Chains A and B, each alone.
Chain A
Amino acid sequence: MDIELRGISKRFGPVQANQDINLEIRAGEVLGLLGENGAGKSTLMNILSGLYSADTGEILIDGSPAIFTGPGDSIANGIGMVHQHFMLVPVFSVVENVILGVEPTSGVDYLDLEAARAQVQEINTRYGMEVPTDALIEDLPVGIQQRVEILKVLFRSADVLILDEPTAVLTPQEVEEFFTIVRALRDAGKGIVFITHKLHEILEIADRVSVLRQGQIVGQGDPASFSEADLAEMMVGRPVSFSVGRAESTSGDTVLELAGVSLFDAAQDARLVDINLSVHGGEVVGIAGVQGNGQTELVEAITGLSAVTTGEIGFAGQDITRASVRQRHRMGVAHIPEDRHKSGMVGNFTVAENMVLNSYYDESVTSGVQIDWRRVHARAAAACLSYDVRTPSVFLGAGSLSGGNQQKMVVARELERDVRLIVASQPTRGVDVGSIEYIHRQLIACRDRGNAVLIISSELDEILDLSDRIYVMFEGRIAATFDNRGGGADRNAIGLAMAGVSQGTNPGAGRSGNRGSAA
């Protein structure tokens, strides 16, 4: 089935989300749709999936015009969308989730689960998805849950699959397996729209690529004819440099030191086991690892959000094992949290209020028990300017900023004061390329001022780009350490350590296994 979008335009108030877009989706082909957050990708796909209707333009299915008045129409026409955020019932089994809404019944509304299971199993094996069809969703890893979403649209006989940022939630290994499935679908004649902002994925999987910027198609063609730099420039609208270009680090005194730190949760399960690590002034240390291997707990232990069970945490020569979040904050620990929506900001507060979210009690912005808002506002305005937070006013609700600007706001808040240690957890998650570049530069600049920087990221590229030393976490332990001064770390070995395969350590690091504290 081929789909053609012709002259699609869509406007939301003053925002031209899509402008005169022409796009062809062909059977047996992966179309990569590349664009930054806010470029209009989701709008376009929501038009295709019937959620929005276009102001102008038409959709042709196999040459004949189709009119969608709701999501039901596009599904009926064989178009299925896999959303970035899954829509699954956690306590239902895979089969139950797949058939939800289109349950095969016989007799008087009798749910024919057997027929359904056979059907789901057939799709499952045909594309090599290896999904346990009777398992409950909540017991499955994210990568498998995503396949259930794909099963759902295939069960509804979709010929065209729209995959919205499908790799955002996957580990590097899962991405590889996912690509295998995508190729199997393509080879079976399905048309696939692969939405992403990751360039290397386009180069790897797409047969054709279309680049969206500010609602318009700014380039399309064979991905092989573009370099990563070309694509990035098309996407952002100006040349982008990928390597941060960090100079040799000048390692100084030990700023952060964890000695034998273990942490047990309320259920007495070990979340951190005998962690020894150190971060020095003037160096960036990266924590690599598949999500959920203790990184969150490590950050909470360092910033004071969770009390450690055993072990000691030293900061600039002082024991801070039992210091509170605020004490650590005052001593110069900055924390960029992993999920800005969950903890890093308050969407309903103004930019200015967010700028003092965790320092509103500090003497520099208070007089007695009052907050001196004039000082807060002035400081917030200055921070917005020096950290490139693009907002028309500091009185604007932070929730209406773009993801990149929200994250820059958090970064500005954490870096604008005097700090000694920056704990940056997933510092560029859900952020556009331009902002990623900017945030990386700021972190390196912080290092160059002699501060210690600890970066925790599930994006291995980010770790490799920024870090002078790398620790790999696996199941709550430090599985390996690597020296990355001059970019010498072995990507493959790190990948293996992330998967828990080896206890390998590259020779250059000069230390082994779990004892990574020596300078």
Chain B
Amino acid sequence: MSGEARSSGPAMSPDMKALLVPAIDSRSSWRELFILPLAAMFLAMLIGALIMMATSVAPETILQSFIAMAHGSVGSIHAISETLTAAIPLVLAGLGIGLAFRAGLFNIGAEGQMVVGGLAAAIASFLVTGLSIWLHLPLVLLVGLAIGAVYAAIAGLLKAATGAHEVISTIMLNLISIRLLDYMLRQPFIQKEGRSDPISKAVLETAELPRILEFLDGNLRLHAGLFIMLAAVAVIYWLLFRSKLGFAFRISGENPGAARYAGIRAGLTIVMAMAIAGALAGLAGAIQVSGVLGRATPGFTAGIGFDAIAVALLGRSHPVGILLAGLLFGALEAGGRQMQVDAGVSIDMIGIMQALIIIFVAAPLLVRRIFPPLFRERPRGGEENG
């Protein structure tokens, strides 16, 4: 062991080299990140099958529905395109929620941030005219990002200045955003000409995210938001684990007392973390409007901001975990639609299974009990106090 020997000077002694060997049991983090979610998914599918059996769905239909699910999510280029398209906003908003988590904040407001971000992006997409796609599209996305950031920062400011709990304030901001959306969609400068129902004008072509698989098949919806999502994963990873700001976030989230001790300003950290989380959700909203929907309509976010909370939980607030969790949820979404078509099983079943996965992931002890061999720990010592 290292303790006995001393080293002096900057030269690398053997003791020092020994200390620099990673000690983290990579198997246990592998378990946390992959095996546990997979086991949870298996259990969720099992219970899903039981529910279907209880509602007298024939066994072969159940089998057929799972085959349809696999087929609809990864079985064809079209299925993969749909899976990825569904994953993009989930991952982006999930990254924001995960980042806020790491800073000790529970951002329930991704839905509302997506709404205001998407709405603002929609407005910018048809009110601003005469720009090339190289200017217009980035502008639209940046508007969505900025408005989402501002909207989330409100909750951050309220917490920093008055101690108002962010869970309460973000829930309220969600409600406001939904009503605000309906109200704004009836404003003459936003509402589509000749319509009396709330629906916005269409996004101009210069503000549309290009579809990236159009050369294969015109029906493939996957758009360039995929690259934005992948870049966001990398940026947030860098931010959390490489940057000074991310380190401050993580200290604040793990131990507020230590953050204070280290001279980190709590209020500023809260506002910054919320703003970044909101920026990601706002961007997700803008991407949905610009890349998929082509306009803003009531409820255009379709609860993605809430599903993203589950994605962040499932991904353990780790950017790579969130990417994988978002892909899984995207696959369930796409596969669920196929299941409804092929097997006639309602897509509600997918919602149930998604929720079950989260419950199992949130209760790791339960999963460990059910599958003990998958989680057999190599015994670890040194934590016993005498």
Instruction: List residues of chain B with CB within 8 A of the CB of A345.
Output: 255, 258
Query: Please, which residue of chain B has its CB at the minimum distance from the CB of A195?
Result: B386
Instruction: List residues of chain A with CB within 8 A of the CB of B254.
Output: 346-349
Interface set, chain A 313-353, CB cutoff 8 A to B: 324-326, 329, 335, 337, 339, 342-350, 353
Task: Report how far A390 CA is from B181 CA in the complex, Å.
Answer: 59
Tell me if A381 and B244 are in contact (CB < 8 A): no
Tell me if A357 and B257 are in contact (CB < 8 A): no
Tell me if B244 and A369 are in contact (CB < 8 A): yes
Chain B contact residues, majority secondary structure:
loop
Q: Does A393 touch B at the CB level, under 8 Å?
A: yes
Tell me if B381 and A358 are in contact (CB < 8 A): no
Query: Please, which residue of chain B has its CB at the minimum distance from the CB of A379?
Result: B10
Tell me if A37 and B261 are in contact (CB < 8 A): no
Query: Please, which residue of chain A has its CB at the minimum distance from the CB of B15?
Result: A385
Tell me if B386 and A39 are in contact (CB < 8 A): yes
Instruction: List residues of chain A with CB within 8 A of the CB of B3.
Output: 388-390
- CB of A16 to closest CB in B, whole Å: 9
Query: Please, which residue of chain B has its CB at the minimum distance from the CB of A328?
Result: B263
Instruction: List residues of chain B with CB within 8 A of the CB of A324.
Output: 263
Q: Does B260 touch A at the CB level, under 8 Å?
A: yes
Given contacts A35-B386, A39-B386, A366-B244, contact A12 B261 (CB under 8 A): no
Task: Report how far A348 CA is from B24 CA in the complex, Å.
Answer: 12
Instruction: List residues of chain A with CB within 8 A of the CB of B255.
Output: 342-343, 345-347
Q: Does B247 touch A at the CB level, under 8 Å?
A: yes
Task: Report how far A37 CA is from B383 CA in the complex, Å.
Answer: 11
Mark interface residues in B367-378 (1 if CB within 8 Å of A CB, else 0): 000000000000
Tell me if A12 and B257 are in contact (CB < 8 A): no
Partner of A17, one of B23, B244, B386: B386
Tell me if B2 and A43 are in contact (CB < 8 A): no
Q: Does B379 touch A at the CB level, under 8 Å?
A: yes
Q: Does A370 touch B at the CB level, under 8 Å?
A: yes
Q: Does B195 touch A at the CB level, under 8 Å?
A: no
Instruction: List residues of chain B with CB within 8 A of the CB of A40.
Output: 384, 386
Tell me if A396 and B24 are in contact (CB < 8 A): yes
Task: Report how far A381 CA is from B10 CA in the complex, Å.
Answer: 11
Instruction: List residues of chain A with CB within 8 A of the CB of B385.
Output: 37-38, 42, 403
Tell me if A38 and B251 are in contact (CB < 8 A): no
Q: Which of B244, B258, B380, B383 counts the most A-chain CB atoms under 10 A from its CB? A: B258
- CB of B289 to closest CB in A, whole Å: 31
- CB of A370 to closest CB in B, whole Å: 5
On chain A, the number of residues with a Cβ less than 8 Å from chain B's Cβ atoms is 66
Interface set, chain B 86-103, CB cutoff 8 A to A: none
Instruction: List residues of chain A with CB within 8 A of the CB of B18.
Output: 392-393
Q: Does A377 touch B at the CB level, under 8 Å?
A: yes
Q: Does B163 touch A at the CB level, under 8 Å?
A: no
Task: Report how far A388 CA is from B15 CA in the complex, Å.
Answer: 12
Q: Does A373 touch B at the CB level, under 8 Å?
A: yes
Instruction: List residues of chain B with CB within 8 A of the CB of A350.
Output: 24
Task: Report how far A394 CA is from B5 CA in the complex, Å.
Answer: 16
Q: Does A378 touch B at the CB level, under 8 Å?
A: yes
Tell me if B386 and A38 are in contact (CB < 8 A): yes
Task: Report how far A346 CA is from B255 CA in the complex, Å.
Answer: 6
Q: Which of A39, A212, A394, A400 counts the most B-chain CB atoms under 10 A from its CB? A: A394
Instruction: List residues of chain A with CB within 8 A of the CB of B19.
Output: 380-381, 384-385, 391-394
Q: Does A245 touch B at the CB level, under 8 Å?
A: no
Instruction: List residues of chain B with CB within 8 A of the CB of A342.
Output: 255, 257-258
Interface set, chain A 207-243, CB cutoff 8 A to B: 212, 215
Tell me if A357 and B386 are in contact (CB < 8 A): no
Q: Which residues of A contact B (CB under 8 A)?
A: 12-15, 17, 35-44, 212, 215, 304-305, 324-326, 329, 335, 337, 339, 342-350, 353, 357-358, 360-361, 366, 369-371, 373, 377-378, 380-382, 384-386, 388-397, 400, 402-403
Given A343-B257, A392-B2, A395-B24, 11 new contacts (CB under 8 A) = A13-B379, A13-B381, A15-B382, A43-B386, A304-B263, A325-B263, A345-B255, A349-B250, A360-B248, A370-B244, A395-B23
Interface CB pairs A-B, < 8 A, 18: A35-B386, A37-B385, A38-B384, A39-B386, A42-B386, A212-B386, A326-B263, A358-B262, A361-B244, A371-B242, A378-B20, A385-B13, A391-B2, A391-B23, A392-B23, A393-B23, A394-B20, A395-B22
